[in-house]
C-alpha cells in the first residue's frame, strides 16, 4: 500500500498547491465577503471557493473516492474519502492573522486517516505525512521531541467554554501549572509544532469536527507522536484533540481526566 499512498500524497500536495494559489492572494488583498454560519462561526467566500476548487479536482482525478468537506457536505465513495477543511483558522484569516491553513486528508474506511497535508501559505509552511511512514515540513523530515518530564514540557493549551461545560477546565489549569511553559498557538498550528518537535504537548478546544482533525493524524503519528481525543482514544471523529511527543501522552491524559 505504500506505493499507492505515495501516489495519493502526490495528489494531496497538488490539491494544496491549488488551494494556496487561490487563498493566499485573497488573504493579502483582503478582498472577500464574510458571513456567519448557523453555529455563529465565520465563513468567507474564500472558504467556499477553496473547497469547491479542491473537490472539483478530487472528483475529476479520483471519481471513485468519497469526499467530505466543511462547507459543501459529502459524497460516498469506494472506501476512500478525502476530508477537507479549506481554511482552518477562518477567524484568523478574517482578521489578517497569518495562522490559517488548508487541511487535506485521505481517510480509509478501516484504517482511518492515512495521508495528511497541512498547508499554511501565509506562514510559508507546509507539513505532510503518510501514516506509519515519514513526516515532513517544507521538504525536510521532522520528528517529535524526546522530552520525558512533564515539568520540562512546553505546551499549547486552548481552553474554551465547552471545557467548562465538561467540568474539566480546572484540569487544564492543573496542566498549565505543571509544565514549564504554556502558549496558546491554537488550531492546526499547535499540533504541527508538536510534530516538528518545537513543543511537546498540544491540547485543543472541545467542539472540533472531523475535518479539523483528520489531516493532523498521519503527520503527528509519522513524526513519532500520538494524537487522541481528550480521553486518550485515537478517534479522528472525536470533538477534541490532544497531541504529544508520545512520551508524555499518558501523563497528559491522566491530568485532563483526573
% of the chain with per-residue pLDDT over 90: 86
**pLDDT value at residue 39:** 58
Mean pLDDT of all residues in the chain? 94
The pLDDT assigned to 109 comes to 94
DSSP H or E segment with residue 219 = helix 216-222
pLDDT (0 to 100) of residue 36 = 66
Contacts of 111 (CB under 8 A, 6+ apart): 131
Predicted local confidence at residue 219, as pLDDT: 98
Secondary element (H or E) of residue 128:
strand 125-130
Which residues does 231 contact at the CB level (< 8 Å), separation at least 6?
253, 257
Could you give the 3-state DSSP secondary structure of residue 197? coil
Asked if domains 2-141 and 150-256 share a fold, the reply is no
Q: Which strands form 66-69's sheet, in the order they lie side by side?
A: 73-75, 66-69, 80-88, 101-108, 112-120, 125-130, 135-137, 140-141
pTM: 0.95
Q: Which helix (H) or strand (E) holds 17?
A: helix 2-29
User: Looking at the domain that runs over 2-141, which CATH code has it been given?
Assistant: 3.30.540.10
Which residues of the chain have a pLDDT value below 70? 1, 36-40, 42, 72-73
pLDDT at 3: 82
Q: Are 203 and 175 in contact (CB under 8 A)?
A: yes
Using alpha carbons, select from 156, 193, 189 the residue that is nearest to residue 175. Answer: 156
If phi over 0 gives left and psi between -120 and 50 gives alpha, with beta otherwise, what is residue 100? Answer: beta
| Residue extents of the structural domains in the chain | 2-141, 150-256
- For the segment(s) 150-256, the CATH number from 3.40.190.10, 3.40.190.80, 1.10.760.10, 3.20.20.20 is 3.40.190.80
126 close to 102: Cβ distance less than 8 angstroms = no
Which grid cell sits at 113? 486517516
pLDDT of residue 31: 78
- Specify the pLDDT at position 44: 81
Amino acid at each position: 500500500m505504500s506505493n499507492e499512498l505515495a501516489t495519493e500524497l502526490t495528489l494531496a500536495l497538488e490539491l494544496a498547491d491549488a488551494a494556496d494559489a487561490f487563498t493566499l492572494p485573497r488573504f493579502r488583498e483582503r478582498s472577500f465577503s464574510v458571513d456567519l454560519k448557523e453555529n455563529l462561526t465565520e465563513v468567507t467566500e474564500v472558504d467556499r471557493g477553496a473547497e469547491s476548487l479542491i473537490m472539483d479536482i478530487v472528483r475529476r482525478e479520483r471519481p471513485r473516492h468519497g469526499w467530505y468537506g466543511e462547507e459543501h457536505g459529502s459524497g460516498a465513495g469506494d472506501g476512500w474519502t478525502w476530508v477537507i477543511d479549506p481554511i482552518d483558522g477562518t477567524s484568523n484569516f478574517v482578521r489578517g492573522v497569518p495562522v490559517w491553513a488548508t487541511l487535506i486528508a485521505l481517510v480509509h474506511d478501516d484504517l482511518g486517516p492515512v495521508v495528511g497535508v497541512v498547508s499554511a501559505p501565509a506562514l510559508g509552511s507546509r507539513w505532510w505525512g503518510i501514516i506509519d511512514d515519514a513526516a515532513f515540513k517544507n521538504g525536510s523530515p521532522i520528528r517529535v521531541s524526546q522530552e520525558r518530564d512533564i515539568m520540562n514540557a512546553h505546551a499549547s493549551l486552548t481552553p474554551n467554554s465547552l471545557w467548562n461545560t465538561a467540568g474539566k477546565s480546572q484540569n487544564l489549569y492543573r496542566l498549565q501549572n505543571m509544565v514549564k511553559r504554556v502558549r496558546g498557538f491554537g488550531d492546526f498550528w499547535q499540533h504541527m509544532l508538536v510534530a516538528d518537535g518545537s513543543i511537546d504537548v498540544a491540547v485543543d478546544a472541545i467542539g472540533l469536527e472531523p475535518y479539523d482533525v483528520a489531516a493532523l493524524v498521519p503527520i503527528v503519528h509519522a513524526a513519532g507522536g500520538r494524537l487522541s481525543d481528550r480521553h486518550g482514544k485515537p478517534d479522528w471523529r472525536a470533538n477534541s484533540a490532544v497531541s504529544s511527543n508520545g512520551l508524555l501522552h499518558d501523563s497528559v491524559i491522566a491530568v485532563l481526566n483526573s
